[in-house]
Chains A and B, each alone.
Chain A
Amino acid sequence: MKRIGFKLKEWASAGNFASWKYVCFDSRSEVFILGYARAVTACTIEVQNRIPSERFRATIAVPESRTIRDPIHRFIKLNEQETEIIDSEAFQRLRNLRQLAFAYLVYPGATHTRFEHSLGVCHVAGLLARKLGFDEDQTKLVRLAALLHDLGHGPFSHVSEEALERYSDREKLPPKTHKIHELITTILIREDPQIARSLAQNDRERIVNALGPGHGEPILKNVLSGPLDADKQDYLLRDSYYCGVQYGMFDLPQLHEVLCNIADPAGDRTLMIEPGGVHTLEQFVLAKYYITTQVVRHRIRLITDQMLIRAIILGVEEDQIDELRALYAFDGSFDFIKRYAAWGDTRLLQAFSSEQFEGKLGHFLFSGLLRRRLLKLVFRKPVIQFSPDAREALSAISKPKNADKRRHIEKLLLEEIQKHAKVVTTPGTDPSHFVIVHGYTLKSVKEEARNDEASILVNETPPILFESASVLFNSINEKLSETFVEVYAPVEYQTPAERRSLKNKLSAPIAAILEGASQ
């Protein structure tokens, strides 16, 4: 049930007058309409005039859907049930979570949020459902699941995940088959009172199952989480648009044109592409590769993400800020989620870079992120260039279990860096806390064409893998995925030449420290 309230004059002047039925009112007076409506076209409302005694009941037509203007898809049409969900507080909070975390520090336009992305994914899921011939029930399910898929994200989305993993009470949580934000999504769908009012319990469970990492109807899973899912189809276009880049662009209508819904001999239906669609898909997979390398894994973005994670760890473990720990200490309860849902990107940054925390370790990094005073990249090397014994340790250096080893290495690195550069920090703090060594992996472009077990199939007889059907992808070396180790530090330089000189000076000694200390 949804409570509606609006001024009659505004309603009438907005052109909705014709949708009224059986209403008596004084058109010269300003009348408030209060009522309750289900997802039906007509409902009974109570109309109250300014004179409290003058009450009467009337039946009105309520809008069946809402149409939202969107820069990517132009018009996104939502039905009444979906409209109720987006009006819930749990969904509205997605407006406070930027889709690309700190990418706006590189691409100033990239301030779009999980809110409009979720609307876009719902829209694309609907287009896919129509193209693939889903029935009404399947269409409803995939649209709702798509709409709700990001509901559990916290401030700075995926960056929060690492803090949640670190401080959550895993003993109180289900086995580690879910990411924490996915568990939070599940709990919100099941327990949020406003969402529960909009969705029957059976629907809530079906949505949770459809979004979960486990089993389910393959064709529905293909739309929600696979190499061609609605999520990617929206974010590639949306992220490109807001970043002002062309890396993620692909021909969405043409991609949908070449998709097909094929039954295998066992009767299971799966998503494939028509043989003539191989080049369309090449464009899509390359778009994903480029947006990953140029936006998501942009060198500045890697630094900002690591700064935020380090700021949270320092805030919790060194500065002992209870409020910060409470934000990430997920215990599976709805009480936690109520607190968690009150935080967004801006609130997190502003709260912990405020004067209240000045002089604290975390404050240095939080305020650096707020003011774009970032750590600098002073070293980068593929781990394959280290000895075989050192590679594994360096690749895993950012994992919590290696915290002591990492800290030891960072202290050694600071000593070396201080010999060659001016280190900028808050007076009275140990600057080694702001030296960060980080290991990460970039998937090969070929791996971008599939998701773990799920590969894209081309509808030949018999079906073949997209990677085999594509001459372009066939020629790409499978081995080209690389793990890198990088070092960030609070150093200052004035010119690009100084930066290059510093990196050259530091390259050999840092490599030696990493090689020696990681074994």
Chain B
Amino acid sequence: MTINDALLFTYDAAGGSIQGKTNLQKKMYFVAVMLGKDFGYGAHYYGPYSATVAAANQELKSLGYLSESTASAGSYNASGFEIARHDFQLTPDGRSVLAAKKARSPEDWIRVEKAVKRLSEAGDLNYMELSIAAKAYFLLKQATRASDTELVKQATKFGWTVTEDEIRKAVEFLIALDLAKAVD
């Protein structure tokens, strides 16, 4: 499965559109984790981020498979998140290509669809919460085992500011996804 395929499948499974670049990045991060794929994610100031995913999304746009619109996302916030929101939507050309890809690789499509469904069932997080969950998973994967307090401390090493409450909620989400489990 190419990254373009995974992206188009994710858009489709998410209802044909994704609101916000941060949302897209973090959604794709968890899809990559659940598919066991390396889409080039590394630690950035805004959490796990992949330039490869950003470039692929840009390419799909320039090929006419996605359209982009900009909307105001509200006020500036403490974590430095986007202020204007970039929304992406499958175009009719994108849907036509997607149908061909689904027919060619039905198993890949089903895997991505399941991953996106699991994300939504685990807790319909907004883009900020999803971003914190992605940070928490990124940190947990490195530490293998850590308390909420330790995760908050680890986060500061990456320049990430998160509270214990935010981490707690994020870990609950990871547990629901079977990506983490609580131990005594």
Contacts and interface: CB of A to CB of B under 8 A. Distances in A.
Given A266-B79, A270-B80, A467-B84, A395 B63 contact: yes
Contacts, number: 119
Contacts of B40: 175-177
Contacts of B65: 388, 391-392
Nearest to A464: B83
A483 B158 CA distance: 36
Contact of A453 (B44, B96, B161): B44
B105 interface: no
Interface in B54-78: 54, 58-59, 61-65, 67-70, 72, 75-76, 78
A268 interface: yes
A400 interface: no
B78 A264 contact: yes
A463 interface: yes
Interface string A427-461: 00000000000000101000100001101010000
A158 to B, nearest CB: 15
A383 interface: yes
A268 B159 contact: yes
Given A266-B79, A389-B100, A463-B76, A215 B44 contact: yes
A214 B44 contact: yes
A267 B159 CA distance: 11
B51 A478 contact: no
A384 interface: yes
B38 interface: yes
Contacts of A176: 38, 40, 52
Interface in A84-123: none
Nearest to A212: B42
Interface in B11-68: 21-22, 25, 38, 40-46, 49, 51-52, 54, 58-59, 61-65, 67-68
Contact of A479 (B22, B59, B67): B67
Interface residues of A, number: 41
Interface stretch (A188-196, A216-224, A278-286, A372-380): A216-224
Contacts of A483: 59, 62-63
Contact of B83 (A221, A395, A457): A457
B43 A482 contact: no
B84 A221 contact: no
Contacts of B158: 214-215
Nearest to A216: B159
A351 interface: no
B54 A266 contact: no
Given A388-B64, A388-B65, A452-B51, A214 B76 contact: no
B161 A392 contact: no
Contacts of A452: 49, 51, 54
A213 B42 contact: yes
Contacts of B62: 383-384, 395, 441, 481-483
Range of interface residues on B (Cβ < 8 Å): 35 or more
A276 interface: no
B175 interface: no
Interface in A212-259: 213-218, 221
A483 B63 CA distance: 7
B124 interface: no
A462 interface: yes
Interface in A170-196: 175-177
A293 interface: no
A354 interface: no
Interface string B119-146: 0000000000000000000000000000
Nearest to A177: B42
Contacts of B79: 266
B93 interface: yes
A320 interface: no
Contact of B63 (A384, A455, A478): A384
B149 interface: no
Interface in A264-312: 264-268, 270
Contacts of B38: 175-176
A218 B83 contact: no
Contact of B80 (A268, A384, A441): A268
Contacts of B110: none
Contacts of A441: 58-59, 62
27 contacts: A175-B40, A176-B38, A176-B40, A177-B40, A177-B42, A214-B43, A215-B44, A215-B45, A215-B158, A268-B161, A384-B62, A388-B96, A391-B97, A395-B63, A441-B58, A443-B58, A453-B49, A453-B54, A462-B83, A468-B83, A478-B69, A478-B70, A479-B67, A479-B68, A481-B62, A482-B62, A483-B62
User: Ordered nearest first, which 9 A-B pairs have the shortest CB separation?
Assistant: A462-B76, A388-B93, A177-B42, A265-B78, A266-B78, A391-B63, A215-B158, A483-B62, A462-B75
Given A267-B161, A384-B62, A455-B82, 8 more contacts: A214-B43, A441-B59, A452-B49, A453-B49, A455-B83, A457-B76, A467-B70, A478-B69
Interface of B: 4, 21-22, 25, 38, 40-46, 49, 51-52, 54, 58-59, 61-65, 67-70, 72, 75-76, 78-80, 82-84, 93-94, 96-97, 100, 158-161
